[in-house]
Structure 1
Amino acid sequence: MKRNLPLILLLVIATSAFSQRKSELFAEIDTLKTKISKVEQELAKAKREISSSSAEAEALRAENVSLRDANATLLGNLSNFSELSKQNSENVNKAMAALSRKEKQLSGINDMISANDSTAIVSLTQIKQTLGENAKVGVEGGIIIISNSLNTLFGSDTSAELTEEGKTWLGGVADVIKANPNFKAEIEGLNITGEFGPTYNQVASVASTLVSTLEVPADGISISAKDGNFREGINIKLQPDYKGFYAKAKESAKAAQ
């Protein structure tokens, strides 16, 4: 028994030491597990942060691409706007130049119209001086109208032979026509019966006397007959030479271009 005691003590000590070592190993394992868990948590956190950073980087990259595209589009629009502005400016300048030419054309035509109106007013005064203050003379639409009755001119509403009073009046009219060569004369007969044969004979008689006897140029005279609407008589209409007027207006328009 005494011989086995040291062996037993040694075994007890060894067992005790092994038990202590085992406890230390378990404790160390627990510590390592804790550290491993902590490391795994930190790793998972790092992965999340990396994933978030990657997503942000991708978002920034996409935003940067979008900004570059938007910037390129803006620069293109600015270039187009600049070109459009230039074209608009050129169009405005062209329109203003065209408007200026039109104003000159209209100004020239207005001047000619005013000149015709002024001539008509001056001629009206001269006509009254030639035919007398009691002469039936008026201006309508720029046309001077000299009127007389059928009884005064022909003695009746059917005769085509001029009376002496009619001849005298017509002589004054001839002086007026020859004093205004820029006017065209229209002899207009007014009829209230609807029978225009006698009316044509009357205006033809007036025209014949003016041309053959009173030496008024034939190319400046025309004749017409129409319903007088309850009025009858002879009108001598003196109007501007519209053909010549439009020719001058056309030349004025060309000169203003």
Structure 2
Amino acid sequence: MKKIYTLILFAALSTSAFSQRKSDLIAEIDNLKVQISEVEQELAKTKREVSSTNAEAEALRTENVTLRDANATLLGNLSNFSELSKQNSDNVNRAMEALARKEKQLSGINDMISSNDSTAIVSLTHIKQSLGENAKVGVAEGVISISNSLDKLFGSDTGTELTEEGKTWLQGVANVIKLNPNFTTEVEGLNITGEFGPTYLQAASVATELVTTLEVPAEKIGISVKDGNFKEGINIKLQPNYKGFYATAKQSAKAAQ
């Protein structure tokens, strides 16, 4: 009987110990489950953070690539701009140099034109002093024109022999021509009838007197006739040597290049 009680007590103790152990195991399991849940939550959080960090890193990498590309493009543009700026600067310098050469050319030509105009004005003063204040003298476009009527030169509008008054007048004209060696002379006959033959003979008579009697160089004298538009007479025109003027202007232009 005593053994039975002993067995029963042992069984009870064993059962109680087993129950206690089971309870502890269940509690431990529950605790482990809680820890596992916490670990899983922490892992999920960490994964999210890692994913976010990876996304940010990828964004930064992409941005860095973009910035490098933009920087390379900017450097290329700056290099192109620098080269273009240099080319533009060279073009501007060449244009300024060309402009300076043109200004120098124009300055030389203007000086020559002004010189011709000034010579014409000064010559006009001398002509009036030589021929008198009543002399018919005018200046147009640098050309001095000394005029006289056919009656005073030839005694009539059809005569071809010079009168003494005409010869005296031509003496003064010859002096003017000799004082202006840089000018050429043209004897121009004006006609109102349309018969240019007699007018040409009158102009030729004046030119002959200037060359043969008054010793004006023949190469300085030219002859022309034209319709006088209701005016007749003789014009003696003193004008710049345009051929020489253009030759000088051409030479000046070459020198300025």
How many angstroms apart in 2 are the aligned matches of 1:11 and 1:199?
A: 173
Instruction: Kindly provide the amino acid, as one letter, of the partner of residue 247 in structure 1.
Output: A
C-alpha displacement at 1:112, in angstroms? 2.3
Relative distance call for 1:231 and 1:8 in structure 2 (3 A) is: farther
How many angstroms apart in 2 are the aligned matches of 1:185 and 1:206?
A: 12
The unaligned stretches of length 5 or more in structure 2 are: none
Q: In the alignment, is residue 125 of structure 1 matched against residue 125 of structure 2?
A: yes
Q: Residue 48 of structure 1 corresponds to which residue in structure 2? A: 48
How many angstroms apart in 2 are the aligned matches of 1:229 and 1:132?
A: 27
Instruction: Kindly provide the amino acid, as one letter, of the partner of residue 183 in structure 1.
Output: F
TM-score with structure 2 setting the length: 0.84
Q: Residue 235 of structure 1 corresponds to which residue in structure 2? A: 235
Cα deviation 1:102-123 (Å, max 9, x = unaligned): 3333333333222222221221
C-alpha displacement at 1:14, in angstroms? 3.9
Equivalent residue runs for 1:154-173 within 5 Å:
154-173=154-173
Instruction: Kindly provide the amino acid, as one letter, of the partner of residue 115 in structure 2.
Output: A
How many angstroms apart in 2 are the aligned matches of 1:143 and 1:168?
A: 23
TM-score with structure 1 setting the length: 0.84
Instruction: Kindly provide the amino acid, as one letter, of the partner of residue 209 in structure 1.
Output: E
How many angstroms apart in 2 are the aligned matches of 1:32 and 1:158?
A: 150
Relative distance call for 1:195 and 1:32 in structure 2 (3 A) is: farther
Instruction: Kindly provide the amino acid, as one letter, of the partner of residue 74 in structure 2.
Output: L
Instruction: Kindly provide the amino acid, as one letter, of the partner of residue 66 in structure 1.
Output: T
The unaligned stretches of length 5 or more in structure 1 are: none
C-alpha displacement at 1:2, in angstroms? 8.1
Counterpart of 1:26 in 2: which secondary structure? helix
Instruction: Kindly provide the amino acid, as one letter, of the partner of residue 242 in structure 1.
Output: Y
Residue correspondences, number: 257
Choose 47-56 or 28-37, whichever is displaced more.
28-37
Q: Residue 60 of structure 1 corresponds to which residue in structure 2? A: 60
Q: In the alignment, is residue 255 of structure 1 matched against residue 255 of structure 2?
A: yes
Q: Residue 153 of structure 1 corresponds to which residue in structure 2? A: 153
